[in-house]
Amino acid sequence: MRQAKVKTYAKINMVLNCLYKRDDGYHEISSIMQAISLHDNINLKPAGEIILNSNSTLIPLDEKNFAFKAAQLVISKYPSIKGVEIYIDKKIPIEAGLAGGSTNAAGVILGMNKLFNLKMTTSEMIEVAEQIGSDVPFGIIGPTALSTGRGTNVSPIPEAPLLWVVLLKPDFGVSTPKVYSNMKEQMFEKTDNIKGFLGALERKDQDYILGNLVNTLEKSTFALYPKVQEIKDFFIRNTKHSLMAGSGPTVFALFPNEIEAINFKDSIPPDYGKAYLAQTIDSKEIHERVIIDEKE
Ligand code: C5P
């Protein structure tokens, strides 16, 4: 049977500026987002209704799951589609700050677009994506993007150079709404750091990129979850360039060199949580992430 196979990549923010609280309750952000090789595999097959399954027992299998919601939205736009069977092979840790649920939703949109020959343009897919969550539109584009507004205005920017990423996911999750609502006026980002970062990406200036990682949400997450601060302190003591991912609790470090990355990963005390090794991905991997398989 015809099926779509989609690699849905995790996301880190190399810059995440939380600027101010908006009247609609969301926070205005400006962010440089980057897709990394850590990914889930999704299989999609035509079906009479929406059926969602996974190897993970930790994710919901109904409309509470962003992937299910994505299928519902695509079907409401194209009612001739009766349903789709979705299987998520989960590798990205959940509630990690790595946009795992969001990238799955984007993968369902991308995969259904090809599976059912819908010919949706990128902006049509982004329009569906932004109805699901703030991080979903990035999953439609990548590998490196500028995102503004509540995170849904995404545009491709020059790709980041190849960097190795060591991630550490503690064995608890954080609540994104809680992290945002704990942001105080004095915590908001006041520096205009986006222009400089974009210039560095254009020049492939690795030193600038590594030296200017920012995540304004760190202060809020650290105040709510001191264990994340402890892990970040460990990273600062042992690596040169580290940051919290999204609203946390995952902390990551970037390395230009694979051996250094592996050595650091191996040095992390196991009681801090689960460590992952990944790398930044490029547009070739983004273009090849959806495959249509006509065979069994
Ligand atoms: O859009 P999403 O469902 O991912 O956002 C989850 C929650 O995170 C929102 O309901 C809001 O409380 C908070 N949020 C925010 N500002 C953003 C993104 C998310 O306040 N830019």
Q: Indicate the DSSP class of residue 5.
A: E
> Distance between CA 125 and CA 197 in Å, rounded?
27
Q: pLDDT digit string (tens) for 193-232?
A: 999 999 999 999 999 999 999 999 999 999 999 999 999 9
Do 133 and 148 touch, CB atoms closer than 8 A? no
- For residues 73, 108, 83, 132, the Cα torsion angle rounded to the nearest 10 degrees is -20
CATH of 3-157, one of 3.10.180.10, 3.90.920.10, 3.30.230.10, 1.10.3470.10: 3.30.230.10
Domain residues of the chain, as ranges?
A: 3-157, 164-279
What stretch of H or E contains 178?
helix 176-181
Q: State which ligand 1 atom lies nearest to the alpha carbon of 136.
A: 4
Burial class from Cβ neighbours inside 10 Å (0-12, 13-18, 19+) for residue 190 reads exposed
- CA dist 185 to 45, 56, 101, 188, 193, Å? 48, 39, 29, 6, 18
- The interface predicted TM-score of the complex, written ipTM, equals 0.97
> Distance between CA 34 and CA 26 in Å, rounded?
22
- Mutate which of 66, 150, 153, 174 for ligand 1 pocket (most atoms within 8 A of beta carbon): 150
Do 104 and 8 touch, CB atoms closer than 8 A? yes
Distance, CA of 55 to chain centre: 20
DSSP string, 94-128: TTSSS-HHHHHHHHHHHHHHHHTT----HHHHHHH
> Distance between CA 38 and CA 280 in Å, rounded?
9
**Out of 7, 69, 90, 135, which one is annotated catalytic?**
135
Q: Which residues line ligand 1 (CB under 6 A)?
A: 26-27, 29, 133-135, 150-151, 176-177, 180
Q: State which ligand 1 atom lies nearest to the alpha carbon of 135.
A: 4
Say which residues have a Cβ less than 8 Å from residue 82's Cβ, sequence separation at least 6: 46, 47, 48, 49, 75
Burial class from Cβ neighbours inside 10 Å (0-12, 13-18, 19+) for residue 149 reads middle
Q: Residue 146 is which amino acid?
A: L
What b/e string do you get for 225-240 counting C-beta neighbours within 10 Å, with b at 16 or more? beebbebbebbeeebe
List the chain pLDDT tens, one digit each, 296 residues.
899 999 999 999 999 999 999 999 999 999 999 999 999 999 999 999 999 999 999 999 999 999 999 999 999 999 999 999 999 999 999 999 999 999 999 999 999 999 999 999 999 999 999 999 999 999 999 999 999 999 999 999 999 999 999 999 999 999 999 999 999 999 999 888 999 999 999 999 999 999 999 999 999 999 999 999 999 999 999 999 999 999 999 999 999 999 999 999 999 999 999 999 999 999 999 999 999 999 76
Q: State which ligand 1 atom lies nearest to the alpha carbon of 149.
A: 21
User: What does pLDDT average to over the chain?
Assistant: 97
Q: Is the dihedral of CA 200, 202, 206, 212 positive or negative?
A: positive
Q: Does domain 164-279 have CATH number 3.20.20.70?
A: no
Q: Indicate the DSSP class of residue 41.
A: E
Residue 11 designated active-site: yes
**How many whole angstroms from 20 Cα to the centroid of ligand 1?**
13
